[in-house]
Amino acid sequence: MTADDTHRAIDAVWRIESPKLIAGLTRVVRDVGLAEDLAQDALVAALEQWPGEGIPRNPGAWLMAAAKNRAIDQFRRRKMLSEKHAALGHELEEEQQRVPDFYTALDDDVGDDLLRLVFIACHPVLSTEARVALTLRLVAGLTTDEIARAFLVPEPTIAQRIVRAKRTLAREQVPFELPRGADRIARLSSVLDVIYLIFNEGYTATSGEDWTRPALCEDALRLGRIVAELTATEAEVHGLVALMEIQASRLRARIGPSGEPVLLMDQNRGRWDRLLIRRGLAALDRAAALGVPKGQYELQASIAACHARALTPEQTDWTRIVQLYEELAAVAPSPVVELNRAVAVSMARGPQAGLDLVDTLLGEPSMRNYHLLPSVRADLLAKVGRREEARREFERAASMTQNARERELLLERARRQA
């Protein structure tokens, strides 16, 4: 294996292991910022040693051991000799004797480091924006640039939110534990937002060489299912789980033989995972059975269910989907919802009707760097015969995305307009 191959492998390992590593370290050192620093130190050690020694059989355990060694060294250098720190050092040394298994399913509601880390990052001492950004950074392992693209805000803004959030958590000495009772419900909304953003990054990666990152979808689904068990009377939790289950059912069909993206209407629906669809529809039924007004996740899940129930693209109930998007726009208005509604309108009422709606979004500041706006507009322009304009819009969308696979798809669609 060449040095470049090793570094790519290390990057892949880091993407998978860093959230679990930071969560486990936070449980031990009780400081999110320190835990992330220790994890980064372990990554540096891997970059130094693995090219020469080879990637270990259990890279996650290696990274954890390296991080804990670093923690012990720090505590010793700082001469923290109080009883508290002596006990902490003893705990760290004891844990070194065991190989942590971060993949074991939960036995109860307090046994999962990742879930505790999500609730810490979503603590009320932080703003909603800071909660989401910090959790995406720590739990999903996203870069500040990837988070900024998810939020449609400048990268320095996200970096500042993360730094301030970690300082606030340290200053307030937020405990590493799951909240209970009313506190858990109060923090649930931002937790759901975070989980869904993690899922979305896995479903359509904002950058890199891969169209999807299934491991992130799996993490989000696992966390969503756990939260659903903990808050079984909250309809939106089941709505989110339903949405993710149904969306995840398409993952295999979204990738072609060479890793190229396959869009929804071109997918082989025989490759959709029917078990995940059944699970999603069951979760949607649980949400509806609670008898409360539909929230944004239940509505989005209802839209996904319309696609899941259609055995062919022609069977899709676009009129129903338009209605659901109108309900969603009333509950959670946003330019992105309006863009999706425009797509549904184009399918139900014709491409010009959809294009008219898309054009109303051209002056929206938050959509200025959102590549899906020119991408959708290009598709509709092509359908109404304005091919040269469509070509330019596809090329503009390609220049805006940071995902290599998506860029290739958009440029190919631009070439077809010639």
Angle in degrees, 0-180, between the axes of helices 387-400 and 372-383, rounded to the nearest 10:
160
Which range (7-11, 203-207, 252-256, 281-285) has the least confidence?
A: 7-11
Contact of 126 with 37, CB cutoff 8 Å? no
Q: What are the tokens at 269?
A: 């629906």
pTM of the complete model beyond 0.85: no
What is the rounded CA–CA span in Å between residue 141 and residue 134? Answer: 10
φ, ψ of residue 402 to 5 degrees: the values are -105, 5
Q: Domain spanning 345-418 has what CATH number?
A: 1.25.40
47 pLDDT tier (thresholds 50, 70, 90): confident
Which range (66-70, 299-303, 333-337) has the least confidence?
A: 66-70
User: pLDDT tens, 21-45?
Assistant: 888 888 888 888 888 889 989 989 9
What is the rounded CA–CA span in Å between residue 38 and residue 50? Answer: 18
Give the model's pLDDT for residue 222.
86
- Span 215-235, mean pLDDT? 88
121 pLDDT tier (thresholds 50, 70, 90): confident
Compute the mean pLDDT over every residue in the chain, rounded to the nearest whole number.
87
pLDDT at 301 over 90: yes
Angle in degrees, 0-180, between the axes of helices 128-138 and 155-172, rounded to the nearest 10:
90
What is the rounded CA–CA span in Å between residue 306 and residue 225? Answer: 22
What is the rounded CA–CA span in Å between residue 212 and residue 202? Answer: 5
> CB neighbours of 143 closer than 8 A, spacing ≥ 6?
207
Q: Give domain limits for the chain.
A: 3-95, 345-418
- Span 45-56, mean pLDDT? 88
Measure the CA dihedral 95/101/106/110, to 10°.
20
More confident residue, 271 or 53: 271
SS (H, E, C) the chain: CCHHHHHHHHHHHHHHHHHHHHHHHHHHHCCHHHHHHHHHHHHHHHHHHHHHHCCCCCHHHHHHHHHHHHHHHHHHHCCCCCHHHHHHHHHHHHHCCCCCCCCCCCCCCCCCHHHHHHHHHCCCCCCHHHHHHHHHHHCCCCCHHHHHHHHCCCHHHHHHHHHHHHHHHHHHCCCCCCCCHHHHHHCHHHHHHHHHHHHHHHHCCCEECCCCCHHHHHHHHHHHHHHHHHCCCCHHHHHHHHHHHHHHCCCHHHECCCCCECCHHHCCHHHCCHHHHHHHHHHHHHHHHCCCCCCHHHHHHHHHHHHHHCCCHHHCCHHHHHHHHHHHHHHCCCHHHHHHHHHHHHHHHCHHHHHHHHHCCCCCHHHCCCCHHHHHHHHHHHHCCCHHHHHHHHHHHHHHCEEHHHHHHHHHHHHHCC
User: pLDDT tens, 269-296?
Assistant: 999 999 999 999 999 999 999 999 999 9
pLDDT at 84 over 60: no
User: pLDDT tens, 129-170?
Assistant: 898 889 888 887 788 888 887 776 899 999 999 999 999 998
pLDDT at 103 over 50: no
Contact of 158 with 148, CB cutoff 8 Å? yes
Which range (86-95, 126-135, 374-383) has the least confidence?
A: 86-95
- Span 165-182, mean pLDDT? 87
- Span 378-394, mean pLDDT? 97
Give the model's pLDDT for residue 87.
58
What is the rounded CA–CA span in Å between residue 311 and residue 268? Answer: 10
What is the rounded CA–CA span in Å between residue 162 and residue 302? Answer: 34
pLDDT at 98 over 50: no
104 pLDDT tier (thresholds 50, 70, 90): very low
Radius of gyration of the chain (CA): 23
pLDDT at 107 over 70: no
